[in-house]
A and B are shown apart, each in its own frame.
Chain A
Amino acid sequence: DAGITQSPRYKITETGRQVTLMCHQTWSHSYMFWYRQDLGHGLRLIYYSAAADITDKGEVPDGYVVSRSKTENFPLTLESATRSQTSVYFCASSEPRGRQGLTYEQYFGPGTRLTVT
């Protein structure tokens, strides 16, 4: 049971380059999320997806693009990387369950540490 995986785990890129971070989950969860984690800010939501072909912006979407053609994959693309996008990126997935369908803890991937020089 692979769960949720991210690739690459580490990436160094230059300012202005396009970078794609991959996320894959094997649970067929309907919801998927992309967060970035920076010191002092906690986790901030970049984009989320409620199902294949349904995506929407989170708190900090500028400079990022997502797609979700298949339920199991949710790639995040930095169209033109900037130094401010240096961060640790976490992908997560979830499925509503439990009391009134409200409980849905998110399961996080191992993260991608991205450095933009």
Chain B
Amino acid sequence: GQNIDQPTEMTATEGAIVQINCTYQTSGFNGLFWYQQHAGEAPTFLSYNVLDGLEEKGRFSSFLSRSKGYSYLLLKELQMKDSASYLCAVRSFSGGYNKLIFGAGTRLAVHP
């Protein structure tokens, strides 16, 4: 079957670094996405990995290891506005099309 696991909640301090992990089991792996979703709002795209390694984009970085079925999102210099849910999503080619399978999300609370 297809399964994505990520922690339900995390807390961190303003200015610190936090790592949100995501493990997945899926067939037809075709890329991994991270989305940010503030409460009551739509998800917005953060990063995309299809090859192993680290992708850096400003304060946010995302890492992928396909052999381990593992990814993480690294947030540096945390700001209060980073308090949000972070969704890990795996793109899987199955049933004739590419579909995104979302994890339940990790709710991050940043404290002063």
- Would you list which residues of chain A between 67 and 82 have a CB under 8 Å from chain B? none
User: DSSP majority for the B interface?
Assistant: strand
Q: A99-B50, A103-B48, A105-B33 are in contact. Are A44 and B102 (CB under 8 A)?
A: yes
**Who on chain A is nearest to B99 by CB?**
A45
Interface residues in A, total, Cβ within 8 A: 23
Residues of A within 8 A of B43 (CB): 43, 90, 108
B31 CB-CB contact with A under 8 Å:
yes
Per-position binary interface string of chain B over residues 69-112, scored 1 when its CB falls under 8 Å from any chain A CB and 0 otherwise: 00000000000000000010100000001011011110000000
Counting residue pairs across A and B whose Cβ atoms lie within 8 Å, the total is: 46
**Please, how many angstroms separate the alpha-carbon atoms of A88 and B97 in the complex?**
24
Residues of A within 8 A of B89 (CB): 43
**Please, how many angstroms separate the alpha-carbon atoms of A103 and B91 in the complex?**
10
**Who on chain B is nearest to A107 by CB?**
B45
Q: Which of these, B31, B42, B99, B104, contacts A109 with CB under 8 Å? A: B42
The reply to whether A105 and B45 form a contact with Cβ atoms under 8 Å apart is: yes
**Please, how many angstroms separate the alpha-carbon atoms of A6 and B41 in the complex?**
12
Per-position binary interface string of chain A over residues 48-81, scored 1 when its CB falls under 8 Å from any chain B CB and 0 otherwise: 1010000010110000000000000000000000
The reply to whether B42 and A43 form a contact with Cβ atoms under 8 Å apart is: no
